Amino acid sequence: MLSEHHDEDTQIAPLYGTRAMVDPIPKWQLSEGEMPAAAAYQIVHDELALDGNPLLNLASFVTTWMDPEAEKLMLETMPKNFVDAPEYPQTAELERRCVSIIADLFNADATGDTAVGTSTIGSSEAVHLAGLALKWNWRKRREAAGKPTTQPNIVTGSNVQVVWEKFARYFDVELRFVNMTPERTVIGVPEAKALVDENTIAVVGILGSTYTGEFEPIKELDTMLQALNAETGWDVPLHVDAASGGFVAPFAYPELEWDFRLPTVKSINVSGHKYGLVYPGVGWAVWRSRAELPDELLFHDAYLGEDQITFNLNFSKASNQVVGQYYNFLRLGRDGYTRIMQGLLSTSNYIADLAESSGHFHVISARDALPLVTVTLKNDEHYSCHDLSDKLRERGWIVPAYALPPDADEIDCLRVVVREGFSRDMADRLMEDVTRAVDHLNERPPVQPKRVKHKRSAHHVC
């Protein structure tokens, strides 16, 4: 029994029929002794029961289901440190195959042994690596021309993922945003052109906006940059943030030109753990050719047994993510990925139809982009998207509510991301719960509708 003077918030005190559970366990410090593995497992297992159900997490783009065979392979390879290439040469070989497969999917100049890319910890690390290569290449061009190298900038839409803000801040690059409007929720080409100058290291186009799932006009950005570079003598490249869409477009929209088929596209990042269908977190950075990756960013080391070249922000990481990616490429092939992406898009369009026919929502997401549905409320004077999101959470559904980026941030949205494992039957159950939640909020509206404003780092907004 706890002393009345004991701070109960510092203890974990579950009740089980085992001697290991007789005394409370410190929460914030190490306990003095050990406990049986089964007891430690049970404590952590039960605490994690408070998390949301991954299957009902419609906020996340991240994969929540894989084949049992993939899980077995990934469990077997968890102990392998990926960076130990001399000790695990076949794992390194699987990474090279994955890089070549992705480079080929994206129509790079180099494939096979000459493909240029690397696995990363999610697409965020890939963004940093690609951004660094763009900055170094810009600086080398400026130095060769005898011009200053102190004011690099990068041009994006304000709908980019926050990792681009991190890149700009961490690596001292001015981030120039093209703000959104209520009528345009992706980057505007004329607006982007107005922000480009001789210090621009790249323009970023997004293949699949987090907010609305739309593909940005990447071919039009390429056309603009080709003309601008020819007119000015600059060499401003285009980077494609394909974190979400890079494993959708090649299979669902093979004729769409967004990748290395466009001359100014020099690098692409993509998330293997989104529609690459691998558990979190694996990403990939790929370049058009070896010429786009500066030698200064490549590091040699030999203390693991052999000379090896690395280009990563981290060093150690598990091998199982790369193994899981290669398993999917081997298992599914082009036909398998195509059928999955078409199936997901069919389900997302079905949800969009149900949302529109309900009479409660405007669908603002595109039907020819990512498999997701973004809606706004038709009549939200009594409650907000945030109120509806909270109400759905009572049934276990995790449906995010958020404001669009500046200057469209007066618009609140709800978003449903469709991933493998989300069936049409589940879509029906979701929309039934949405209808019940709307009816409840109409009958018992909140005193004050909930509102959460979009925030950006002001000193990076242009």
Distance CA 235, CA 228 (A): 9
Model pLDDT for residues 9-26, shown as the tens digit of each residue: 776 666 555 655 667 788
Buried b (16+ CB within 10 A) or exposed e, 24-63: beeeeeeeeeebeeebeebbeeeeeeeeeeeebbbbbbbb
Instruction: Return the structure tokens found at 456.
Output: 């950006």
Please compute the mean of the pLDDT values over residues 100-116 and round it to a whole number. Answer: 93
Neighbours of 118 (CB within 10 A): 20
Q: Long-range pairs for 304-310 at CB < 8 Å and ≥24 separation?
A: 304/83, 304/84, 304/85, 304/86, 304/87, 305/86, 305/87, 306/85, 306/86, 308/85, 308/86, 310/83
- Tabulate helix, strand, coil % of the chain (nearest 5): 40, 15, 45
pTM for this one?
A: 0.91
Find the distance separating the first CA and the last CA of the chain, reported in whole Å.
Answer: 60
Question: Given this model, what pLDDT does residue 31 score?
Answer: 86
Q: How are strands ordered across the β-sheet holding 200-206?
A: 116-120, 283-287, 265-271, 238-241, 200-206, 153-157, 174-178
pLDDT for residue 29 is more than 60: yes
Comparing 3-7, 74-78, 279-283, the range with the smallest average pLDDT is: 3-7
Question: Is residue 387 included in any domain, yes or no?
Answer: no
Task: Name every residue whose Cβ is closer than 8 Å to that of residue 98 and which is 6 or more positions away in sequence.
Answer: 119, 284, 322, 325, 326, 329
CATH number at residue 89: 3.40.640.10
Q: Are residues 44 and 93 in the same domain?
A: no
Q: Are residues 267 and 241 in the same domain?
A: yes
Q: Are residues 31 and 82 in the same domain?
A: no
| Domain count along the chain | 2
Phi, psi of 234 (to 5 degrees): -75, 175
Question: Given this model, what pLDDT does residue 460 score?
Answer: 39
pLDDT for residue 111 is more than 90: no
Which residue range is the domain that position 148 belongs to? 68-329
Q: At what angle do helices 424-443 and 385-393 cross, to 10 degrees?
A: 120
320: nearest Cα among 63, 79, 96, 90: 79
Write the burial class of residue 154 (CB in 10 Å: 0-12 exposed, 13-18 middle, 19+ buried). Answer: buried
Question: Is residue 416 included in any domain, yes or no?
Answer: no
Question: Is residue 17 included in any domain, yes or no?
Answer: yes
Model pLDDT for residues 326-370, shown as the tens digit of each residue: 999 999 999 999 999 999 999 999 999 999 999 999 999 999 999
Reported as type and span, the H/E element at residue 44 is helix 37-48
Q: Are residues 42 and 80 in the same domain?
A: no
Task: Name every residue whose Cβ is closer than 8 Å to that of residue 5 and which is 6 or more positions away in sequence.
Answer: none
Question: Is residue 411 included in any domain, yes or no?
Answer: no
- CA dihedral of 424, 425, 426, 431, whole degrees rounded to 10: 90
Q: Are residues 176 and 277 in the same domain?
A: yes
Angle, CA 238 vertex, CA 151 and CA 175 arms, to 5°? 35
Q: Are residues 218 and 73 in the same domain?
A: yes
Question: Is residue 129 included in any domain, yes or no?
Answer: yes
pLDDT for residue 84 is more than 90: no
Q: Are residues 233 and 102 in the same domain?
A: yes
Model pLDDT for residues 124-162, shown as the tens digit of each residue: 999 999 999 999 999 999 999 999 999 999 999 999 999
